[in-house]
């Protein structure tokens, strides 16, 4: 899935993250990604590995990859 822009101008992107297995993992990934400028919300789901990010503009994938890496996980792809 490519980033989707809604009527308010918010951009939503879904990422596939490898290695999350619990709520603590979800929190670690969400916390790191939420620190990226422009991010307005993050929802990580360990069971599917999907991380849905809403932002004010499209995010630089390298910045998201670095945040996921900092949390101790691996960004596999953008869905």
- What distance in Å separates the CA atoms of residue 8 and residue 1, rounded to the nearest whole number? 19
Does residue 46 sit within a domain? yes
DSSP bridge partners of 52: 14, 43
pLDDT at 67 over 60: yes
- CATH number of the domain enclosing 30: 3.30.70.100
Does residue 12 sit within a domain? no
Does residue 50 sit within a domain? yes
Map residue 56 onto helix, strand or coil.
coil
Which structural domain range is residue 50 located in? 19-78
pLDDT at 47 over 70: yes
Q: How many domains are there within the chain?
A: 1
pTM of the entire structure? Answer: 0.90
Does residue 31 sit within a domain? yes
pLDDT tens, residue by residue, 35-45: 999 999 999 99
Does residue 13 sit within a domain? no
């Amino acid at each position: 899935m490519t980033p989707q822009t809604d009527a308010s101008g918010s951009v939503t992107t879904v990422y596939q993250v490898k290695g999350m297995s619990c709520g603590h993992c979800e929190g670690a990934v969400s916390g790191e990604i939420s620190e990226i400028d422009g991010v307005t919300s993050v929802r990580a789901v360990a069971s599917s590995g999907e991380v849905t990010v809403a932002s004010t503009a499209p995010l630089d994938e390298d910045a998201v990859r670095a945040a996921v890496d900092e949390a101790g996980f691996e960004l596999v792809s953008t869905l």
